């Protein structure tokens, strides 16, 4: 795991309590800059140790109005933190190999906002995808996916569920709806300009569904959540999500305008499969990675919301599986 620098800034009168936590946790790489009024502690730790350290120190910080904790990524350091010298957290083994809850929240909180950039990238990627679909060009379609910002809102909604964060969930859901609606609107307009060839391979593959698409969408959702939880770049996973979600929405809208209702319904079913599977996979992954609030009452609320959401998404998954089975039985 990558390294993190934790900076704790608080009044000097409270410094002894933080120093006791540092000693109790056995954190080797730490130092303090003690001033008359303010003390700054700096701790060097692995990314998967941050959450335990922060959770232990936060109760102290809440007692002071002038305290602050910062977690900064480290690009490189020397010497390396080997097992004998690295900052250790208690004596129990690590339960998960991931970044801290707070870091993940900051990463995904931004994705839940319906910004002008989000709208612009959604419109542009939708236009490029529509052109690529009308030309039956896989290269152009994949190019559109590179700029499609659809991973963030879906993963934000999954994280909000795992944390029981209603406000984040509402913002993420709103952004998801706006993103899909914007893409659909672009598809409707594009359908009036560029006709689609129903025999083209890029169209045929997205107007019918099989159980393979369900497995693919689940795998993509798990990959996206894992990539975000360990703090690695998620650009490639974002492309995978966009490939799975955006083209069916564009195709369905274009075909509706052009009067091909049956094929449009097939594309909408594929889009529904991807939305359901991405969110279900994301919630389950975050839950299994142990991402939850740091207080027991918030954790209980989050557990209830997670269980409820899992039941709802599984119910929707059963419905789409039934629809796929019915569509495959039709002549």
Segment 109-126 mean pLDDT: 89
| pLDDT above 70: percentage of residues in the chain | 89
Chain segment 50-77, per-residue pLDDT in tens: 888 888 888 888 887 788 899 988 877 7
Q: Which residues pair with 277 in a beta bridge?
A: none
pLDDT for 234 beyond 60 = no
Burial string for 241-258 (b: 16+ CB within 10 Å, else e) reads: bbbbbbbbbbbbbbbbbb
State residue 93's pLDDT score. 42
Segment 290-318 mean pLDDT: 86
Q: Where are the domains of the chain?
A: 3-95, 102-329
Residues 227 and 155 sit within 8 Å (Cβ to Cβ): no
Lowest mean pLDDT, pick from 30-44, 201-215, 225-239: 225-239
The CATH number for 3-95, chosen from 3.40.50.800, 2.40.50.140, 1.10.287.1770, 3.30.70.120, is: 3.30.70.120
State residue 130's pLDDT score. 92
Q: Inter-axis angle of helices 296-329 and 211-229, to 10 degrees?
A: 160
Neighbours of 226 (CB within 10 A): 20
Reference 176, options 243, 239, 108, 113; nearest CA is 113
Chain Cα centroid distance, residue 2:
19
Measure Cα distances from 87 to 24, 70, 147, 257 in Å: 12, 17, 39, 61
More confident residue, 79 or 171: 171
Mean predicted lDDT score pLDDT of the chain: 83
State residue 241's pLDDT score. 57
Q: Please give the span between the terminal C-alpha atoms of the chain, in angstroms, as a whole number.
A: 53
The token pair that represents 43 in the structure block:
């701790």
Segment 211-222 mean pLDDT: 85
Segment 173-191 mean pLDDT: 93
The token pair that represents 60 in the structure block:
């102290």
Q: Inter-axis angle of helices 50-61 and 15-25, to 10 degrees?
A: 160
Per DSSP, the residues of 164-186 read T-HHHHHHHHHHHHHHHHHHHHH
Per DSSP, the residues of 193-260 read HS---TTSHHHHTTSS--HHHHHHHHHHHHHHHHHHHTT---HHHHHHHHHHHHHHHHHHHHHHHTT-
pTM higher than 0.85 for the full model? Answer: no
244 pLDDT tier (thresholds 50, 70, 90): low
The token pair that represents 102 in the structure block:
């707070």
Lowest mean pLDDT, pick from 156-170, 197-211, 312-326: 197-211
Angstrom distance (rounded) from CA 241 to CA 158: 14
């Amino acid at each position: 795991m990558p390294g993190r620098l934790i900076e704790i800034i608080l009044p000097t009168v409270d410094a002894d309590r933080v120093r006791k936590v540092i000693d109790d946790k056995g954190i080797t790489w730490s130092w303090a800059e003690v001033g008359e009024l303010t003390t700054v502690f700096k701790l060097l730790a692995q990314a998967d140790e941050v959450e335990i350290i922060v959770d232990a120190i936060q109760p102290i910080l809440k007692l002071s109005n002038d305290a602050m904790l910062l977690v900064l990524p480290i690009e490189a350091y020397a010497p390396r933190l080997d097992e004998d010298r690295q900052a250790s957290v208690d004596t129990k083994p690590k339960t998960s190999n991931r970044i801290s809850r707070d870091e993940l929240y900051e990463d995904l909180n931004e994705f839940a906002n319906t910004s002008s950039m989000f709208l612009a990238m959604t419109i542009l990627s939708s236009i490029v995808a529509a052109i690529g679909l009308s030309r039956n060009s896989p290269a152009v379609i994949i190019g559109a996916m590179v700029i499609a910002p659809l991973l963030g809102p879906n993963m934000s909604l999954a994280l909000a569920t795992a944390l029981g964060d209603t406000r984040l969930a509402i913002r993420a859901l709103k952004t998801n709806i706006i993103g899909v609606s914007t893409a659909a609107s672009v598809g409707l307009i594009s359908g009036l300009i560029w006709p689609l060839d129903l025999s083209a391979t890029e169209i045929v593959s997205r107007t019918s569904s099989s159980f393979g698409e369900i497995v693919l969408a689940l795998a993509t959702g798990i990959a996206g959540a894992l990539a975000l939880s360990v703090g690695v770049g998620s650009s490639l996973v974002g492309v995978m999500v966009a490939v799975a979600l955006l083209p069916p929405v564009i195709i369905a809208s274009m075909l509706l305008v052009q009067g091909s209702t049956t094929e449009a319904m097939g594309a909408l079913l594929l889009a529904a499969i991807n939305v359901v599977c991405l969110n279900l996979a994301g919630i389950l992954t975050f839950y299994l990675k142990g991402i939850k609030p740091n207080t027991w009452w918030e954790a209980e609320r989050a557990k209830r919301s997670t269980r409820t959401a899992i039941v709802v998404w599984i119910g929707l998954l059963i419905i789409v599986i039934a629809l796929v089975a019915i569509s495959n039985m039709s002549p």
